[in-house]
Amino acid sequence: MIISVAVRCMPSLNLKLLPEFKSLIDQETPLQQLGAALDKGTVPHALLFSGIKGVGKSSAALMFAMACNCNAAIPEGRDLKASVDHHKIDVPCGECRSCRKIRSGNHPDIIFIKPSGPFIKINQIRELCRTLIVKPFEADQRIVIISDADAMNPEAGNALLKVLEEPPDRTGIILTAANVFDLLPTLISRCQHIRFKPIGVACMATFLTREYGVDHQAAMVVSQMANGSLSKAVSMMQTHWMEKRDWLINEVIALPSRSIRMALVFAEKLSRKKDALSDALEIITTWLRDLIVYRYSKGNIINRDLKDKIHEVSQKMAIPTLLANMDAIQTAQKKIEANANLRLTLEILMIHMKRN
């Protein structure tokens, strides 16, 4: 179902990336689809933005809400037709009253819903339904942004379905989800689905180099390890991921020459930070993988800034040993996911890697 949108500056609109949306990169197709909807002056009553965490879904939803309600496209005292006949208009402008209220989170007609705990609960959707009974206070287009919609429990999903079946006037609902398979199929069928792709390594590395001033090789390493998620890459930069990686790799390199006691000390240090353990084991696995790959395709290593070190270490370790260590890490990961004793599992892993 398509509903009319009172976008004041149709039909010639360009989506404008304001400074706060500078991280919305490598998503040309979704932005083109949203821009086309604005150009037509109509949007679906429900949009579904899908893609892994950290690719710009929430930023795009907020930008679209601003664009739908931007009122700077019609200069005071000028006719709309004269305003759009000879040039494209960039929205959102970011400076008009509507844009300022939305970007500050103070617009009464831009509604945000996110999980309360692990789920979006039915009471949250019921409260939304009561709000939508009333007409928008001041917006041309009221926008509801439901973040992590795949966290809706079945009751909440069915309650939202009723809203989508009879959409309120001048209201658009945007759902963002990492895993659409966790949404009710009937919900998906009532939304226009816009897919956000994982961000390309080169594009992400360019962003990190520009915004954080890091060495390009380091930016490439972080970008590859982020697996397409810009928010993960930014978090890695802010938490000194490169320093942690270097420490882990140096510990693994030294492991065979160290005593059993020192191997257990290393395991104990890893067990202290359970939240960071998955990343730590991924770093170690990637290091072992690079030692293997380097022998056959030097240009395809991930830790390219450590090329000299990889060259040196790879000559000393047999491929069967490296593969056995990778298998041991995978076994440990499965045990940890099954709630095995964390420290004991890591101690067994480190003793294996020391002796192997």
Predicted local confidence at residue 5, as pLDDT: 41
142-146 and 110-113 strand pairing: parallel
In the predicted structure, residue 75 carries a pLDDT above the cut 80: no
Give mean pLDDT, residues 208-214: 91
Give mean pLDDT, residues 21-41: 87
For the ranges 55-69, 81-95, 128-142, 234-248, which has the lowest average pLDDT?
81-95
CA 186 – CA 134 distance, rounded (Å): 26
In the predicted structure, residue 89 carries a pLDDT above the cut 90: no
DSSP string across 17-72:
--GGGTT--S-HHHHHHHHHHHHHTEEESEEEEE-STTSSHHHHHHHHHHHHH---
55 or 37, which is more confident: 55
CA 215 – CA 340 distance, rounded (Å): 40
Structural tokens at position 14:
């360009």
Q: Which residues pair with 116 in a beta bridge?
A: 119
In the predicted structure, residue 11 carries a pLDDT above the cut 60: no
Predicted local confidence at residue 22, as pLDDT: 82
pLDDT band of residue 12 (cuts 50, 70, 90) is low
83 or 119, which is more confident: 119
Q: What is the dihedral of CA 184, 189, 190, 193, to 10 degrees?
A: 100
Pick 239-355's CATH classification: 1.10.3470, 1.20.272, 3.40.50, 1.10.1060.
1.20.272
DSSP string across 157-212:
HHHHHHHHHSPPTTEEEEEEES-GGGS-HHHHHTSEEEEPPPPPHHHHHHHHHHHH
For the ranges 77-86, 157-166, 219-228, 312-321, which has the lowest average pLDDT?
77-86
User: What is the residue whose two structure tokens read 């000559």?
Assistant: 315
In the predicted structure, residue 80 carries a pLDDT above the cut 60: no
pLDDT 10s digits, 233-285? 999 999 999 999 999 999 999 999 999 999 999 999 999 999 999 999 999 99
pLDDT band of residue 65 (cuts 50, 70, 90) is very high
Query: What residues does each domain of the chain span?
Result: 2-195, 239-355
Give mean pLDDT, residues 182-211: 94
Predicted local confidence at residue 90, as pLDDT: 72
In the predicted structure, residue 219 carries a pLDDT above the cut 90: yes
> Mean pLDDT, the chain, as a whole number?
88
CB-based contacts of 283, cutoff 8 Å, min separation 6? 225, 244, 245, 248, 249
Give mean pLDDT, residues 164-183: 92
Give mean pLDDT, residues 206-228: 93
In the predicted structure, residue 84 carries a pLDDT above the cut 80: no
pLDDT 10s digits, 14-29? 677 777 788 899 999 9
Smallest Cα–Cα separation from 68: which of 92, 104, 46?
92
84 or 212, which is more confident: 212
**Domain spanning 2-195, CATH class:** alpha beta
159 or 40, which is more confident: 159
Structural tokens at position 43:
């949007």
In the predicted structure, residue 316 carries a pLDDT above the cut 70: yes
Q: Are 198 and 55 in contact (CB under 8 A)?
A: yes
In the predicted structure, residue 216 carries a pLDDT above the cut 60: yes
Q: Which residues pair with 2 in a beta bridge?
A: 44
Per cent of the chain over pLDDT 70 is 91
Predicted local confidence at residue 83, as pLDDT: 40
pLDDT band of residue 183 (cuts 50, 70, 90) is very high
Give mean pLDDT, residues 160-172: 90
DSSP string across 252-264:
HHHGGGS-HHHHH
